[in-house]
Structure 1
Amino acid sequence: MTAEAAQPAEGDPLIRPSTTEHPLYDQVVEACRTVYDPEIPVNIFDLGLVYTVEINDAGEVGVVMTLTAPGCPVAGEMPGWVAEAIEPLPGVKSVDVQMTFDPPWGMDMMSEEARLELGFM
Structure 2
Amino acid sequence: MTEEGQAETPEANGITDKVRTALRTVTDPELGINIVDLGLVYDVEVDDGSAKVTMTLTSPGCPAGGQILGGAKDAAESVDGVDEAVVSLVWKPFWTPERIDPKVRAMMGF
TM bucket by the smaller chain? 0.7 to 0.9
Q: TM-score, normalised by structure 2?
A: 0.84
Structure 1 position 24, deviation (Å): 0.7
Q: Kindly indicate whether residue 92 of structure 2 is the aligned counterpart of residue 102 of structure 1.
A: yes
Matched, 1:87 2:77: yes
Which residue number in structure 2 is paired with residue 59 of structure 1?
A: 49
CA deviations on 1:45-95 (whole Å, 9 max, x unpaired) are 011000110111x12100011001110001222211101111121111110
RMSD across aligned positions (CA):
1.6
State the shift of 1:101 in Å.
Answer: 0.9
Amino acid at match of 1:111: D
User: 1:113 — aligned with what?
Assistant: 103
Query: What does residue 71 of structure 1 align with?
Result: 61
Distance 1:30 1:113 in 2: 17
Which amino acid counterpart does residue 18 of structure 2 have in structure 1? Answer: Q
Unaligned 5+ runs, structure 1: 4-18
Secondary structure at the counterpart of residue 92 of structure 2:
coil
Residue number in structure 2 paired with 1:8? none
Give the number of the structure whose residues are more often strand, by fraction: 2
Deviation >3 Å, runs of 4+: none
Which TM-score applies when normalising by structure 1? 0.77
1:20-51 CA distances to partner (integer Å, 9 max, x unpaired)?
x6111221111110000111121100110001
**1:116 to partner: Cα distance:** 2.3
Q: SS in structure 2 opposite 1:79? A: helix
